[in-house]
Amino acid sequence: DAGVIQSPRHEVTEMGQEVTLRCKPISGHNSLFWYRQTMMRGLELLIYFNNNVPIDDSGMPEDRFSAKMPNASFSTLKIQPSEPRDSAVYFCASSLAFYEQFFGPGTRLTVL
């Protein structure tokens, strides 16, 4: 298996633009997690899905952030409009039965 796949790996955009991050979880995994990592705040859980259904989005910073999982093999995290303080590395992880999580390589987002 190729592991969790994230795209793009790097994104540089200007403030106010829409950003869409993509994730393909490991086949057969039923849980998917979106994290944000910064020097200031460490690793933060934004939202997680179980069987494609959002279970807990309490970590989503504000309404500018939204996430979808239309099927078991694809999820998106969208930021609209983006702001400089959204600059971070965004990780997607998947797991089977909530235990060990397999992380993707991350997307490094820079908002100018």
Partner 1 sequence: GESVGLHLPTLSVQEGDNSIINCAYSNSASDYFIWYKQESGKGPQFIIDIRSNMDKRQGQRVTVLLNKTVKHLSLQIAATQPGDSAVYFCAEGLTNAGKSTFGDGTTLTVKP
Query: Site residues (CB under 8 A) for partner 1?
Result: 4, 31, 33, 39-43, 45, 48, 50, 55-56, 91, 93, 98-106
Residue 8 or 16 with smaller CB distance to partner 1: 8
Neighbouring residues of 66: CB distance < 8 A, sequence distance ≥ 6: 60, 77, 78, 80
CA distance 109 to 100: 26
Q: How far is the CB of 98 from partner 1 (least distance, A)?
A: 5
16 vs 41, which CB is nearer to partner 1?
41
